[in-house]
Amino acid sequence: MKFKFKHTDKIVGFFLFTALVVLILSFVVIALSQKILVKKYEFQTRFKDAVGLSSTTVLKFKGFEIGKIKDFNLNEENLIDARIVVYEEYRNKIVVNSVINKSSNPLTGKSSLEFLQGPDWKDILPEGEYIPSLSMPEGQKLLEENIIQKEGDVIASVLTNIDNILYNLNQDNNADKGVIFRLLYNLANSSEVLNKDLNRMYELMGTMNTELQLTTGLLQETLISTRTTLENYQDPEGLLVKMIDPDRTDLITPLSQSLNQLNENLVQLDELLDFLNSRTPEFSTIILEGKNSLLAVQKTLEGINNNPLIRRGIPDDSKATDNNSKLRPKDF
Amino acid sequence: MLITEKMYRGFKDQFADIYQFLLFSVHIFRKIISFRRQRQARTLVLLRQILFTGFEALPLISFLALSIGGLIIIQGYNILENFGQSNLVFVILVTVVIRELSAILTALIVIARSGTAISTELGNMVINNEINLLLSLGISPVSYLVVSRVVGVVVALITLTIYFNLAALLGGWLFSTLFYPINFNYFFTQLFQQLAVTDIIISVLKSIFFGIGIALISSYQGLKVNIASTEVPQRTIKAVVSSIVFVVFADILITAIFYLL
Amino acid sequence: MNEILLSVKNVKWNSPEKEILKGIDLELVTDRISVLCGLEESGKSLLLKIIAGIEPPDQGSIIYDGVDLFNADEKRVLEIRKKLAFVFEDGVHLSNLIIRENLLLPFKYHYDKFDLNYLMSEINRYLKFFGIGNVMEERPAQISRSKLKLLAFIRAAITDPELIVIDNPLFNLELINQIQVLKFLQQLKDKHKTMLITSGSRDLIENLADELLIIKEGMITARISRSSSEFQSMLDNLELSDLKGV
């Protein structure tokens, strides 16, 4: 105790000094790691929305962090005006006709900014100028006119995104590590089942077809015999006619008219059956399409089911138990 | 007496007490501004306050911070790896430890150690006539005893908070190496990517306010002891309760202000 | 020439239960030792505290060098306080400081610079005078009460005040220490210090008092100068009724 009182000033001095050093060091490290002290060049850009943007969003060029977003706000035209700073060492990469692409990672909801360099590497864009983004017509135009290298870089950034997702999914001891394989496995399973069902459907359709054809044949036969009968009737020279209806006015002519009408109808029915017969392949197509839609739905459902962010998002309905009822019998 | 009347009197006393405390605080602040006067006598009190509140609390603070940092890493990894977002553990370490826990836990420890000590010591000084002795020597007890304690507690609290942060981050790293051999460099690069200067400023700012509050409340309660030694523990309890309430409210307020800005 | 150093004007002080000081008027004159006599609870210690600026009165004022101690700006009051020393009955010291720090505290607080060597030699001289060993590095709790009281006298002396207010100087002291204290007070008297002392010691009054003040139930009822003929007869014929109402 006496030691402490004798050397109070030294102990306290050391205590405070060390803390001060720690504090200053941390400020320095922060400044270095976040490039606070590096000279920065400011540029303007504009986006359709600010989804995923934050004050820590960085601007990348070919995977290198060349700058970051400084601030952004909603302007009168409901577009996002953003200010971007570029570190000194990458300042010369900012050339005329460059574009910024904002792409989002659907899993983290974070956006990354990709810098797409213009064609002329020597035509440096002055500080404070506007760099269009791909979400704006100016940027789209540059893309359409092939002024910027659209394919490579855009696809590369998409691939990077996919890569990110895969990386995130496979990282660490992730419970969802095997999600893609499980998804594929499930898909294979379900398509197998569907295939089986479809095969049965095809069989069914085949039977249906044959039966339809059979029915049509029968119908045609009936028609032919009916026609013969009618023909017979059309010229009734027989005794019966003479006996029953010598003038043909009371019975024969109306019957003949009815039969003629029936004949016409039968021809139409025949045509309808022919039409139906010819449509059978289209039914198959519809069923096939139905199958595809079902597959798509299944995929989506599985995707949702496996999505780590949504899964278990809907809680089970827990049944409330009445604890008191356990304490006493009901008839108490 | 009617209940309403009782309540009214209770509120009135409470407000009178708060008003008195505010007057006391204003007086102290004016004295702090003229702190350079009477340097020699106060420096000793100041140094001893820092020694007691700061240096002697260091082992406890370090132990607590190491464990908290470690626990956050353990729990954080467990939860976040299910999402495949174990990188977020750094964000949690920064927001939870540096912005929130460091200042408030250090403040709670300082309340437990120094807040109680200050109010007990000052209370006993009143009873032992030592406050009168100071007055007779022409020494203002407020400026001699309280001002140095306020400054001492604030300085000690800031320093302790810095050590707390350091220990918690180190603890986080040590524990994370138990699960995954994370490179020291990688860990701290990731961490400093997440850490903003404002985080440290918030942490320091909080400890300044907490320190002022704790020292003022404890001193005020201590000096409110009148004659009986039984008042000392009562006042100490009041000092602790009020200090905790103050710290929590101040924390909420400061955090809210920084989120609004 | 004797001047008025401090005047007490119509000082009243009430405890929650009763009136303790009922309007005291008093003047302390330079180069004179006034001894205040009274029973316990007569309010004499309280009056001393009020005069020393420790306890504010409910009413009335203490004027020192034209400055109202309880109604002036802090700087001027501080200047006055430097000229005034108070020795408590129990010789209290700050318990968390060692004796050396306790003795030097007023200097460290009031002055940026002071002659430490001179002060230390003065302190050592007094320590020798009172026969106290080297207690400079001890804490008050480690020292006997009588020594603490003697150390309180030393603290009062080294600040070289104009007015010394002493509450019951011989209280709690061994005979030899009492004799030393009386000698010490005589030395101060020789240095023309003004003093206000409460005491019930006949030795002290007979040897040192220039005037005797009788306080009875919160009022000063008598003020007798040594030169007056009543002085000796007052001492010889003091009765309970002089100090307490019936």
Lowest mean pLDDT among A163-167, A324-328, C164-168, C201-205: A324-328
Cα–Cα dist B172/B190, whole Å = 13
pLDDT tens across A280-319, in order?
Answer: 666 667 666 776 777 776 666 666 556 655 555 444 444 4
Q: Are A41 and A34 in contact (CB under 8 A)?
A: no
pLDDT (tens digit, 9 = 90+) per residue, C5-55? Answer: 999 999 999 988 888 899 999 999 999 999 999 887 888 889 999 998 888
Chain segment C65-79, per-residue pLDDT in tens: 888 988 888 888 888
Residues 160-199 of A with CB under 8 A from B: 168-169, 171-176
Which whole-number Å values give the CA distances from B110 to A201, A217, B47, B146, B168, in the listed order? 79, 102, 16, 16, 17
Q: Higher pLDDT residue, A178 or A328?
A: A178
B163:A19 CB<8 A? yes
User: φ and ψ at B209, to 5 degrees?
Assistant: -65, -45
pLDDT exceeds 90 at position A265: no
Distance to chain C for B112, nearest Cα, Å: 20
Please list every residue in chain B whose beta carbon sits closer than 8 Å to the beta carbon of residue A173. Answer: 81
Q: Tell whether A265 is within 8 A of chain B (Cβ).
A: no
Best residue in C108, C114, C167 to probe B by mutation, most B CBs within 10 Å? C108
Q: A151 or A137, which is more confident?
A: A137
* Rounded CA separation C32/C10 (Å): 22
| C110 contacts B138? CB cut-off 8 A | yes
The single-letter code of the amino acid at B7 is M
Closest chain B C-alpha to C196 CA, distance in angstroms: 14
A83-134, pLDDT tens digit by residue?
A: 888 888 888 888 888 888 887 665 555 677 888 888 777 788 888 888 888 8
Structure letter (DSSP) for residue A154: I
Across the strands, what pairs with A130?
Answer: A44
| B51·A4 Cβ contact <8 A | yes
Tokens representing B190 are: 């990731």
Residue A2 touches partner B, C-beta closer than 8 Å:
no
Rounded Cα distance, C51 and A298, in Å: 96
For chain C, say whether B112 makes contact (Cβ under 8 Å). Answer: no
Which residue among B44, B121, B133 places its CB closest to the CB of C88? B133
Whether chain C has a CB inside 8 Å of the CB on B41: the answer is yes
- The C-alpha atoms of residue A241 and residue A221 are separated, in whole angstroms, by 27
Residue with the two structure tokens 């049509």: A216
Q: Does B226 touch chain C (CB under 8 A)?
A: no
- C6 Ramachandran zone, left/alpha/beta (phi>0; psi -120 to 50): beta
Nearest Cα of chain B lies from the Cα of C110 at a distance, in angstroms, of 6
Chains touching chain C, criterion 3+ CB pairs below 8 Å: B
Selected residue of B37, B122, B136 to mutate for chain C interface (largest C Cβ count, 10 A): B136
Q: In whole angstroms, give the CA distance from residue B165 to residue C59.
A: 55
Q: Do C54 and B136 touch (CB under 8 A)?
A: yes
Stretch (H or E) spanning C105: helix C99-110
Average pLDDT value for chain C = 89
Confirm or reject contact between A24 and chain B (CB < 8 A): no
Q: Which residues contact B235 (CB under 8 A, 6 or more apart)?
A: B119, B123, B221, B222, B224, B225
Rounded to whole angstroms, how far apart are CA atoms A303 and C87?
88
| Closest residue to B84, CB basis, from A11, A29, A172 | A172
Integer Cα distance of B254 and A254 in angstroms: 104
Min CA distance, B94 vs chain A (Å)? Answer: 13
Instruction: Tell me if B159 and A16 make a contact (CB, 8 A cut-off).
Output: yes
**Neighbours, chain B (3 or more CB pairs < 8 A):** A, C
Contact at CB, C108 and B128, closer than 8 angstroms: no
- CB atoms B138 and C78 under 8 Å: yes
**pLDDT at residue number A324:** 47
What does C120-187 look like in DSSP terms, one character per residue? HHHHHHHHHHHT--S-TTS-GGGS-HHHHHHHHHHHHHHT--SEEEEE-TTTT--HHHHHHHHHHHHH
* pLDDT at B65 (0 to 100): 93
Residue A328, pLDDT score:
47
Of A19, A30, A171, the CB nearest to B84: A171
Residue with tokens 């008191």: A324
A16 contacts B155? CB cut-off 8 A: yes
Closest Cβ–Cβ partner in B41, B121, B136 for C52: B136
Structure tokens at B153: 């507690």
Q: Which pLDDT score, from 0 to 100, does residue B231 have?
A: 92
DSSP, res C17: S
pLDDT of residue A297: 66
Q: What is the pLDDT of residue A325?
A: 42
Q: What is the CATH number of domain C1-83+197-246?
A: 3.40.50.300
Whether C96 sits inside 8 A of B121 (CB atoms) is: yes
Chain A neighbors (3+ CB pairs < 8 Å): B
With a CB cutoff of 8 Å and minimum separation 6, the contacts of B60 are B109, B113
Domain boundaries, chain B: 40-260
Mutate to test the interface with C, among B44, B132, B137, B229 (most CBs of C within 10 A): B137
Q: How far is A290 from chain B (nearest CA, A)?
A: 35
Closest chain A residue to B53, measured at CA:
A12
For chain B, the DSSP string reads --HHHHHHHHHHHHHHHHHHHHHHHHHHHHHHHTTTTTHHHHHHHHHHHHHHHTGGGHHHHHHHHHHHHHHHHHHHHHHHHHHT-TTHHHHHIIIIIIIIIHHHHHHHHHIIIIIHHHHHHHHHHHHTTHHHHHHHTT--HIIIIIIHHHHHHHHHHHHHHHHHHHHHHHHHHHHHHHHS---HHHHHHHHHHH--HHHHHHHHHHHHHHHHHHHHHHHHHHHT--S-TTHHHHHHHHHHHHHHHHHHHHHHHHHHHHHH-
Q: Is the ipTM of this complex over 0.85?
A: yes
* pLDDT tens-digit readout, C91-102: 899 998 899 999
Q: With CA atoms as reference, report the closest residue to B73 among B168, B167, B183, B184.
A: B168
Q: Are C234 and C222 in contact (CB under 8 A)?
A: yes
- Any chain C CB within 8 A of the CB of B189? no
Q: Do A175 and B82 touch (CB under 8 A)?
A: yes
CB < 8 Å to B137, chain C: 81, 86, 105-106, 109
Question: Would you call B84 and A174 a contact, using CB atoms and an 8 Å cutoff?
Answer: yes
- With CA atoms as reference, the chain B residue closest to A4 would be B51
C120, two tokens: 């230390």
Contact B86 A33 (CB under 8 A): no
Which residue reads 């408030």 in tokens?
A: B104
User: What is the structure's pLDDT at A302?
Assistant: 64
**pLDDT by residue (tens digit) across C228-239?**
888 888 888 877
How far is it, in rounded angstroms, from Cα B102 to Cα B163? 9
CB contact under 8 A, C95 and B38: no
In angstroms, what separates the C-alpha of C236 from chain B's closest C-alpha?
35
Contact A15 B81 (CB under 8 A): no
Size of interface A-B (CB pairs under 8 A): 77
Chain B residue at shortest CA distance from A5 = B48
User: Residue B250 and residue B214: Cα distance in Å, rounded?
Assistant: 11
Cβ pair C150, C186 in contact under 8 A? no
Burial C73-98 (b: 16+ CB within 10 A, else e): eeeebbebbbbbbbbbbbbbbbebbb
Chain B residues with a Cβ under 8 Å from any Cβ in chain A? 44, 47-48, 50-51, 54-55, 58, 81-86, 155, 158-159, 162-163, 166, 180, 188-189, 192-193, 195-197, 200, 204
Chain pair B-C, CB pairs under 8 angstroms: 68
**Phi-psi domain of C115 (left: phi exceeds 0; alpha: psi -120 through 50; beta: other):** beta
Q: What backbone torsions phi and psi does residue B2 show, to the nearest 5 degrees? A: -65, 150
Distance from the Cα of C94 to chain B's closest Cα (Å) equals: 6
- Chain B nearest-CA residue for C50: B136
pLDDT in the model for residue A277: 66
For each of chain B's 261 residues, which pLDDT tens digit applies? 677 888 888 888 888 888 889 988 998 888 888 766 656 667 888 898 999 999 999 999 999 999 998 888 888 877 877 776 766 777 778 878 888 889 999 999 999 999 999 999 999 999 999 999 998 888 888 888 899 899 999 999 999 999 999 999 888 888 878 776 777 787 777 788 778 888 888 899 999 999 999 999 999 999 999 888 899 999 999 999 999 999 999 999 998 998 887
Sheet holding C4-14, edge to edge: C19-29, C4-14, C59-64, C67-68
Scan residues 303-332 of A and list those with Cβ closer than 8 Å to B.
Answer: 308-309
Q: Does B81 lie at the interface with C, CB-CB under 8 angstroms?
A: no
Instruction: Determine the residue among A7, A26, A27 to mutate to test chain B binding: the one whose Cβ has the most chain B Cβ atoms within 10 Å.
Output: A26
